[in-house]
Amino acid sequence: MKKIKLIIWIAVLVLLESMGYARIFGAVPALTFAFLVCVALNDDDFYTAAVTGGICGMLAGSLLGRSFSFIFIFYTISAAAVYTFRKKPRYTHAIFKAVFWCGLLTAVMELALFALETGSISLFALYSIALPSVLYNIAAALVIYPLIMRTVYNEEKQRKLIT
């Protein structure tokens, strides 16, 4: 049932992301990226986290008109990295980890894409390209995280409390 819910979430987020109506300062939120960070933080299965990252990367790379191979690889590696480092620091709430990882990895992704497209990195790129995307994805993670916890991972938490 959890995998079906994840597929529904991915479909809805890709649809919202591909519409492109929510554009602020030229930045469109990468809803699927915020989603994969939240899934990688909460799922207990590495395979599910990595496959979710790969599917989100495949859809984002093919539907949004950016570098397919880079987006696919970056999303998959990001999901694996967040899953691997999710327990550090141990006593920090996962929503703060989601904000941190989403912001940091979005900045890296935007700067790498800018460097691939133009061949250089500048302070202008950090301010005008990366910052709006980082802030937008952090806001998306803050909205998506509680919704995922209520819809997808609620039953798992209840099972852990019972056992």
Q: What number is the average pLDDT over the span 52-61?
A: 91
What pLDDT is attached to residue 99? 93
Question: How many domains is the chain partitioned into structurally?
Answer: 1
What pLDDT is attached to residue 66? 73
Residue 134 lies in a domain: yes
Residue 59 lies in a domain: yes
With CA atoms as reference, report the closest residue to 141 among 98, 79, 87: 98
Q: What is the DSSP letter of 66?
A: S
Q: Where are the beta strands (DSSP E) in 15-138?
A: none
Residue 162 lies in a domain: no
Between helix 68-84 and helix 94-118 the angle, nearest 10°, is 150
Residue 163 lies in a domain: no
Q: What number is the average pLDDT over the span 12-39?
A: 81
CATH code of the domain covering residue 95: 1.10.1760
27 DSSP β-pair partners: 24
Sorting pLDDT into bands at 50, 70 and 90, what band is 160? Answer: low
Q: Helix, strand or coil for residue 24?
A: strand
The span from the CA of 51 to the CA of 48, in Å, is: 5
Sorting pLDDT into bands at 50, 70 and 90, what band is 155? Answer: low
Residue 67 lies in a domain: yes
56 or 156, greater pLDDT? 56
Sorting pLDDT into bands at 50, 70 and 90, what band is 163? Answer: low
Containing structural domain, residue 65: 2-154
Query: From the centroid of its chain, how far is CA 151?
Result: 17
Residue 107 lies in a domain: yes
Which burial class, exposed, middle or buried, applies to 130 when counting CB atoms under 10 A from its CB (0-12, 13-18, 19+)?
buried
DSSP letter string over 28-92? ---HHHHHHHHHHHH-S-HHHHHHHHHHHHHHHHHHS-S-HHHHHHHHHHHHHHHHHTTTSSTTS
The two three-digit tokens of residue 102, written as one number: 């989403």
Sorting pLDDT into bands at 50, 70 and 90, what band is 24? Answer: low
Residue 29 lies in a domain: yes
Instruction: List pLDDT tens digits, range 105-140.
Output: 998 998 888 888 888 777 776 777 788 888 999 999
Residue 62 lies in a domain: yes
Q: Long-range contact list for 65-74, CB < 8 A, 24+ apart? A: 66/113, 67/113, 67/116, 70/112, 70/113, 70/116, 71/109, 74/109, 74/112
Sorting pLDDT into bands at 50, 70 and 90, what band is 157? Answer: low
Q: For residue 24, which phi and psi values (nearest 5 degrees)?
A: -125, 125
33 or 158, greater pLDDT? 33
Sorting pLDDT into bands at 50, 70 and 90, what band is 30? Answer: confident
